[in-house]
């Protein structure tokens, strides 16, 4: 398998299928944090100790030839990637900004369909991540749990009978699980209801973050909803709470969409088609405006106001128009103005060829 497979295609194979509630929920992710016993956590590890972590994981993978998920997986070292290639993997949610920018002797194991991403020497020695399309946190947890069990048979984890799995960040101690769902909430944003909804969500122990996790900006009305604490909670409790809250968010978004359809149908349709017109004909467009316009388009597609464009094309464009992917595609460093021009060209071509045959 070539590294180009991961950096030259915007849409991962797992994203091509439609999951439950996919008109609002883009994806579900479960990440499990683990550390190896007898070695310092990454922030305190020497170069040789960090390399030893990679070696142990690589040895374990050598025994995974028959594993249904790990078969054909590829280990990629961060030192072998260009800065642009790292950025593309961040934009595809396959690695974290921390692994791309700050990790020493970091690496990532990627499955063929990119639904599994195992970060090595990020904040913890291992971060096992499983991604599913739509609203499927239970399914993502089942896959992550299976992988975790397999690795635990081949690696010795740092574990305390009193507190559970030991992690670099205290909020991950215990189960070490972080479950998140990426939701698209344009109608709640248009009707200005997010200001009331988000505080209520944080009060029940969940966090609202931008599309690339902690510290990132919420672009295109996309938000990650995840648990904040793992200590003292069972995995099923964490998943159940997340599912229950997100179900309520989905219903609020659906209600907001119906209100927009009933109260201001012409204005809503005008908003969608104006954004389509800008994206179809603009010669220069910023990343922020592109995400806002793509959000309008996705809303129009999901509400049946715009035909001829598939929702997956919007998912693809949301990655293709990011700075790293644009520059990787161009095979050149681009300044801000050049990226804005290339972004407009890419969007025009993709919208006029929705099947990707051009």
What pLDDT digit, counting tens, does each position of 328-348 carry?
888 889 999 999 999 999 999
Residues annotated in a binding site for ATP: 27-31, 93, 127, 178-182, 209-214
Longest dimension (CA), the chain: 64
Beta strands in 195-320 (DSSP E): 206-209, 222-227
Average predicted confidence (pLDDT) for the chain: 89
The span from the CA of 19 to the CA of 27, in Å, is: 8
pLDDT in tens, 27-44: 999 999 999 999 999 999
Residue 244 main-chain phi, psi, to 5 deg: -65, -45
CATH of span 4-256: 3.30.590.10
pLDDT at 356 over 50: no
DSSP state string for 236-263:
HHHHHHHHHHHHHHHHHHHHHHHHHHHH
**Coil, strand or helix: which one is 74?**
strand
pLDDT in tens, 234-248: 899 999 999 999 999
Residues annotated in a binding site: 27-31, 93, 127, 178-182, 209-214
* Domain spans of the chain, in order of start: 4-256, 265-352
Model's pTM, two decimal places?
A: 0.88
- Asked whether 106 and 120 are in contact (CB, 8 A), the reply is yes
Higher-confidence residue of 27 and 170: namely 27
- DSSP secondary structure letter of residue 62: T
């Amino acid at each position: 398998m070539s590294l180009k497979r991961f950096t030259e295609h915007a849409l991962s194979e797992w994203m091509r299928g439609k999951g439950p509630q996919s008109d609002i929920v883009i994806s579900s992710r479960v990440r499990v944090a683990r550390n190896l016993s007898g070695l310092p956590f990454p922030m305190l590890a020497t170069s040789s100790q960090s390399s030893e972590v990679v070696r142990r994981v690589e040895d374990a993978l050598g025994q995974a030839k028959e594993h249904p998920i790990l078969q054909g997986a590829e280990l990629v070292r961060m030192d072998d990637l260009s800065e642009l290639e790292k950025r593309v993997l961040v934009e595809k949610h396959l690695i974290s900004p921390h692994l791309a920018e700050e990790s020493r002797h970091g690496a990532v194991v990627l499955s063929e369909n990119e639904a599994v991403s195992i970060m090595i020497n990020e904040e913890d020695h291992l971060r096992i991540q499983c991604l599913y399309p739509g609203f499927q946190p239970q399914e993502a947890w089942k896959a992550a749990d299976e992988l975790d069990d397999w690795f635990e048979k081949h690696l010795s984890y740092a574990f305390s009978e009193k507190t559970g799995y030991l992690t670099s960040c205290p909020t991950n101690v215990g189960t070490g699980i972080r479950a998140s769902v990426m939701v698209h909430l344009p109608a709640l944003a248009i009707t200005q209801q997010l200001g009331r909804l988000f505080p209520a969500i944080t009060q029940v122990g969940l966090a609202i973050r931008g599309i690339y996790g902690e510290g990132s900006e919420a672009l295109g009305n996309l938000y990650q909803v995840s648990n904040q604490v793992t200590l003292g909670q069972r995995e099923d409790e964490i998943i159940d709470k997340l599912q229950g809250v997100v179900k309520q968010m989905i219903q609020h978004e659906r209600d907001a969409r119906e209100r927009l359809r009933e109260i201001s149908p012409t204005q809503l349709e005008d908003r969608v088609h104006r954004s389509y017109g800008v994206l179809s004909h603009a010669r220069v467009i910023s990343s922020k405006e592109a995400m806002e316009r793509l959000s309008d388009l996705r809303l129009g597609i999901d509400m049946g106001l715009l035909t001829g464009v598939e929702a997956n094309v919007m998912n693809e464009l949301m990655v293709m128009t990011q700075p790293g992917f644009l520059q990787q595609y161009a095979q050149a460093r681009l300044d801000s103005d050049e990226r804005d021009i290339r972004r407009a060209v890419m969007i025009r071509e993709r919208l006029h060829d929705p099947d990707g045959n051009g």
